Structure 1
């Protein structure tokens, strides 16, 4: 083997996965077909759950130190969502994708992993022990496992001939990173009477300290073939149609056309090959859900591949990646389709759509509805099934663990080693946990909760109303002698 895991694609999903694999002590190679990192910020926000996961690896503070990344307001179908005060410890942040990619590339390089660029994948073959990847220059790499993180037009997925059902794109809209004059800093979505609309979100500042915005434009007559270049005149015309003369374009940094295609791979696992991020699911970029869902795919998969490579993965652990993440991707596609309908992306001004949006806007003012939608959009609504702990009815089971303070040490700090964590406040489980000491760190400190077993990705997989042994075996294999 040339490496334990080969990651194809050096976007946020691929580099998040690479960091998880290195944390697990697994040799990793990341390849990308591009000769240099892309300057395109396809996403501009980081959700609460992704921020928590970065914090669990000690990466959040260094990421936020890279520049001005203001707190952002979430939304559902353009209706603003206030920051919830319950489980959302960390509010959304405006961090452009290009910043995230640069941060991760530098971080991985400091750990000794350098992205291998100019590696265009052209062939793929797998057998009972590994995967052989062939590149356009005639070289090849052999690995125990391979992960496709190579985007919506994934070469890996094509070579696998993996089913990718869904709906093709029926229209395009414009997405651009811009500097504007006259824009209301509190405005997010604006519609005019003929169906044209604009959405704006802060992206922090450029290298000169000037504020940048993500601008999205759509409406009648604006849907052109995806490959049609976006010009400054297109942006100016779109701004004038929606805002008149009060908002002016100062600088266009980049722009592209995006479609409303909605597709999801039928299977996320194909033998020793796994699909993650946009290679597994594509949809309209609403609420940065594509990037965040992909990064959360990587957090879910990374520790499981590490367990498989290191030889302690219980039977079926790798299959739980599809079982847990496919429903999450399906739920994202479902909420994006609902949002695109309520937002009237095509600018039809259909009276039935407008009536539905009015009713929805009224409902979205209710605190319970806001909480539900905020959980949905932030990744905090994800609750994994925990079959090995079915006897427990603990409300935390399957959810992200709260960042509890255990006598001056936070739970998220305990997860930075990439191992499981057993919270054992009464020191009742020392003997049963002893055989898992290399995979699970037991913390016998007091706290405001009962005993909990937390997976390396931060999800509670057992609570202290049932016998601990089966849950340890379910997620951490057989005890060492």
Structure 2
């Protein structure tokens, strides 16, 4: 084997996975067909659950030190959620994808992992013990496992002939990175009576300290073929249609047309090949969920591949990647479709849609509704299906960040091991045989006993039957 794991695609999903595998001590090769990293902002925000995961890896503080990344109030279908930013320990932040990629590229390079560029995949072949990948430049790589993180038009997905059902793109909207004048800082979504609309989100500042924004334009006349170039005149016309003479374009940095396609692969695992990120699911970029969902795919898969490579993975552990992440991806597709309907993003001005939006806008003022939507959009509502979810409210959910005295839970997870919180010091004998994979902590703390996986999710809590949970998630005793 040339490497344990080959990752195809050096975007946020691929680089997040590469970091997880580095932590797990797994040899990894990261390839990308581009000759250099893209300088386009693409995705614009990082949700609470992803921020928690970065904090658990010790990466959040240095990431936020890369520039101005303001906390942003959330929305659902353009309806503001004022309580969103106070709902979770780490609120939604505006961190463009280009910043995420640059940060991970430097972090991985500091640990000796550099993406191999100009590697366009043209073929894969699976064997009993691995996968052979061939590239247009003549290179060949053999790995024990291969992960497709190569985007919405995934070559790996095509070569696998993987089922990718869903709704094809029927219309487009325009997204652009711009500098504007005349913008009310409190403005996020604006509609006109005839169905045109614009959305504005902060992207921080450029090196000269000038405010950058993501602009999205939709409504009648905006839907053109995806390949049609977006010009400065297109942006100016869209701005004048929505804002009149109040808002002006100062600089257009990047623009593209986005379709409303909504698809998800039928299976996230194909033997020794796994699909993650946009290779596994595509949808409209509403609520900053696309990049975050892909990074969460990587966080779920990384420690499981590490367990398989090191030989202690329990039976069917790798299958839980599909069992856990497919429903999570499907939930994102559902809420995005609901948002696109309530936004009337095509500008139909359908009276039924407008009536539904009016009712929903009123409901969204209720704190309980805002909390529900904040959990849904942030990734904090995910509850993985696993034994114990029927009986204990913590099982399957992200671990609470408890203060255990010497350290908080998120600091303990930086080891890459599982964590057993054992406040009464009663499980030393039971957990001892797994001490190479599970760290015991929390003695004397005011906490409930719980077992936390390396990805930060609780997989057991309570007082009984710890050993079956250790077997199920951490394999046979050492």
User: TM-score scaled to structure 1, two decimals?
Assistant: 0.98
Report deviation, 1:84: 4.6
Does the 8 Å contact 2:404/2:442 carry over to 1? no
Give the corresponding residue for 2:164.
Answer: 164
Report deviation, 1:445: 2.1
* 2: CA distance, partners of 1:87 / 1:188: 20
Report deviation, 1:397: 1.1
Q: What SS does structure 1 have at the residue aligned with 2:395?
A: coil
Report deviation, 1:267: 0.2
* 2: CA distance, partners of 1:99 / 1:444: 36
Listed one character per residue, the Cα deviations across residues 45-87 of structure 1 (whole Å, up to 9, x for unaligned) are 0000000000000000000000000001111100111345886
Listed one character per residue, the Cα deviations across residues 382-428 of structure 1 (whole Å, up to 9, x for unaligned) are 001222x36x7222111101110001410000000111000000100
* 2: CA distance, partners of 1:148 / 1:92: 27
Q: What SS does structure 1 have at the residue aligned with 2:179?
A: strand
Q: Which moved more, 1:49-58 or 1:35-44?
A: 35-44
Does the 8 Å contact 1:57/1:415 carry over to 2? yes
Give the corresponding residue for 1:38.
Answer: 38
- Aligned residue runs from structure 1 range 397-408, under 5 A: 397-408=395-406
Give the corresponding residue for 1:423.
Answer: 421
Does the 8 Å contact 1:165/1:263 carry over to 2? yes
Give the corresponding residue for 1:56.
Answer: 56
Give the corresponding residue for 2:454.
Answer: 456
Give the corresponding residue for 1:228.
Answer: 228
* 2: CA distance, partners of 1:459 / 1:30: 26
* 2: CA distance, partners of 1:462 / 1:263: 33
* 1: CA distance, partners of 2:385 / 2:281: 21
- Aligned residue runs from structure 1 range 63-102, under 5 A: 63-84=63-84, 88-102=88-102
* 2: CA distance, partners of 1:231 / 1:73: 30
Does the 8 Å contact 2:150/2:279 carry over to 1? yes
Q: Does 1:467 align with 2:442?
A: no
Q: Does 1:364 align with 2:364?
A: yes
Q: Which runs of 5+ in 1 are unaligned?
A: none
Does the 8 Å contact 1:202/1:211 carry over to 2? yes
Q: What SS does structure 1 have at the residue aligned with 2:20?
A: helix
Does the 8 Å contact 2:167/2:262 carry over to 1? yes
Does the 8 Å contact 1:205/1:211 carry over to 2? yes
* 1: CA distance, partners of 2:166 / 2:149: 19
Does the 8 Å contact 2:83/2:370 carry over to 1? no
- Aligned residue runs from structure 1 range 111-190, under 5 A: 111-190=111-190
* 1: CA distance, partners of 2:370 / 2:477: 44
Give the corresponding residue for 2:289.
Answer: 289
Give the corresponding residue for 1:305.
Answer: 305
Task: Please give the root-mean-square deviation of Cα atoms over the aligned residues, in Å.
Answer: 1.0
Does the 8 Å contact 2:169/2:262 carry over to 1? yes
* 2: CA distance, partners of 1:119 / 1:429: 49
Does the 8 Å contact 1:324/1:384 carry over to 2? yes
- Aligned residue runs from structure 1 range 268-417, under 5 A: 268-387=268-387, 389=388, 393-417=391-415
Q: What SS does structure 2 have at the residue aligned with 1:409?
A: coil
Does the 8 Å contact 2:313/2:474 carry over to 1? yes
Does the 8 Å contact 2:6/2:29 carry over to 1? yes
* 2: CA distance, partners of 1:145 / 1:267: 16
Listed one character per residue, the Cα deviations across residues 148-183 of structure 1 (whole Å, up to 9, x for unaligned) are 000000000000000000110010110000000001
* 2: CA distance, partners of 1:344 / 1:413: 43
* 2: CA distance, partners of 1:425 / 1:85: 32
* 2: CA distance, partners of 1:174 / 1:84: 26
* 2: CA distance, partners of 1:83 / 1:292: 20
Report deviation, 1:106: 0.4
Q: Which runs of 5+ in 2 are unaligned?
A: none
Give the corresponding residue for 1:242.
Answer: 242
Q: What SS does structure 1 have at the residue aligned with 2:297?
A: helix
Listed one character per residue, the Cα deviations across residues 96-144 of structure 1 (whole Å, up to 9, x for unaligned) are 0000000000000000000000000000000110000000011100000
* 2: CA distance, partners of 1:261 / 1:119: 27
* 2: CA distance, partners of 1:83 / 1:119: 45
Displaced runs of 4 or more, over 6 A:
none
* 2: CA distance, partners of 1:433 / 1:283: 43
Report deviation, 1:448: 3.1
* 1: CA distance, partners of 2:311 / 2:87: 35
* 1: CA distance, partners of 2:87 / 2:239: 38
Report deviation, 1:33: 0.2
Q: What SS does structure 1 have at the residue aligned with 2:331?
A: helix
Give the corresponding residue for 2:477.
Answer: 479
